Amino acid sequence: MTEDTWEQAQERWLAVDRYVTGLLAPDDDALTSALAAGDAAGMPQISVAGNHGKLLYLLARTQGARSVLEIGTLAGYSTIWLARALPEGGRLISLEYSEDHARVARASLERAGLESVAEVRTGPALETLPKLAAEPGAGPFDFFFFDADKKNNPRYVEWALRLGRPGSVIVVDNVVRGGAVADPDAVDPAVTGTREMYELVAREPRLEATAVQTVGSKGHDGFLVARIVS
Ligand code: SAH
Ligand code: DHB
Ligand code: MG
């Protein structure tokens, strides 16, 4: 095979995402509607890809999650994938900064029949997390998905250590950002925050973790998976 140009490589990655997602993780009406509602409301197209949503679902199911804490709801696309992984009586809380995003996401969750499973709470997560933690019976959460403002990722991981339990799983989205994360001279707070998060995870004895880079419909990016050991 001759070497691809950059454009050919991207087209190939996109074709593979379409192939895999079409066979293994096709959007149903509720997922398609959630994306369409986000588009109609002018939201950026930054929901996880379908095959990534399915991975979140599979990780949560495999782990046996009954409670999920998500940060960054947007249109509710990843929220639907994760909420569908929960058994009867399971519960998901998704923290979202924007009232507008939350309104759209709640309607999409209702359309998906998940309004009694998933709850969207608004406000900056660093303000809603302490309120959540103060509620009787809050946590421990079995599964965390962090996909909001990247600069606060280290704080979110610290919260997961407080709100999780041994065996809880943490997934963090967008931990590669076109490779920017490997640049020690990065100044973008999203990148420096993510690097700080990696370093925190690396030195935290209560966590074991890895990160995987991805290509496809969302460009070159990746996700981190961690498990709370103790
Ligand atoms: N998880 C979604 C995509 C989330 S996009 C999916 O894959 O379908 C990131 C979201 O995080 C946006 O809706 C943005 O409003 C929200 N966000 C940004 N900063 C935040 C903060 N400080 N607290 C909570 N949510 C935040
Ligand atoms: C951005 C945020 C995301 O969560 C994502 O998956 C892709 C891009 C962004 O803010 O640019
Ligand atoms: Mg993301």
pLDDT digits (tens, 9 = 90+) for 138-165: 889 999 999 999 999 999 999 999 999 9
Q: What is the pLDDT of residue 137?
A: 87
User: Which band of pLDDT confidence, cut at 50, 70 and 90, is reported for residue 2?
Assistant: low
Q: What is the pLDDT of residue 69?
A: 98
How many structural domains does the chain have? Answer: 1
Identify which ligand lies nearest to the alpha carbon of 80: 1
Q: Is residue 1 predicted with pLDDT exceeding 80? A: no
Q: Is 106 in the pocket of ligand 1 (CB under 6 A)?
A: no
Pocket test for ligand 2, best of 43, 46, 101 (most atoms within 8 A of CB): 46
Q: Is 73 in the pocket of ligand 2 (CB under 6 A)?
A: no
Distance 136 CA to ligand 2 centre (A): 33
Identify which ligand lies nearest to the alpha carbon of 188: 2
Q: What is the pLDDT of residue 4?
A: 82
Q: Is 122 in the pocket of ligand 1 (CB under 6 A)?
A: no
Among the atoms of ligand 1, which is closest to the Cα of residue 48? 7
Q: What is the pLDDT of residue 139?
A: 86
Q: Is 173 in the pocket of ligand 2 (CB under 6 A)?
A: yes
pLDDT digits (tens, 9 = 90+) for 48-94: 999 999 999 999 999 999 999 999 999 999 999 999 999 999 999 99
Mean pLDDT of the chain: 97
Q: What is the pLDDT of residue 47?
A: 98
Q: What is the pLDDT of residue 135?
A: 95
pLDDT digits (tens, 9 = 90+) for 212-230: 999 999 999 999 999 999 9
User: Which band of pLDDT confidence, cut at 50, 70 and 90, is reported for residue 34?
Assistant: very high
- Mean predicted confidence (pLDDT) in 173-182: 97
Q: Whose CA is nearest to atom 3 of ligand 2?
A: 46
CATH of the domain at 56: 3.40.50.150
Q: What is the pLDDT of residue 60?
A: 98
In the numeric block, which tokens belong to residue 33? Answer: 């509607």
Residue with tokens 């995987």: 212
Q: Is 142 in the pocket of ligand 2 (CB under 6 A)?
A: no
Nearest 10 degrees: CA dihedral of 41, 45, 46, 47? 70
Q: Exposed (0-12), middle (13-18) or buried (19+): which is 17, by Cβ within 10 Å?
A: buried
0.85 surpassed by pTM: yes
Which domain covers residue 48, as residue numbers?
A: 3-228
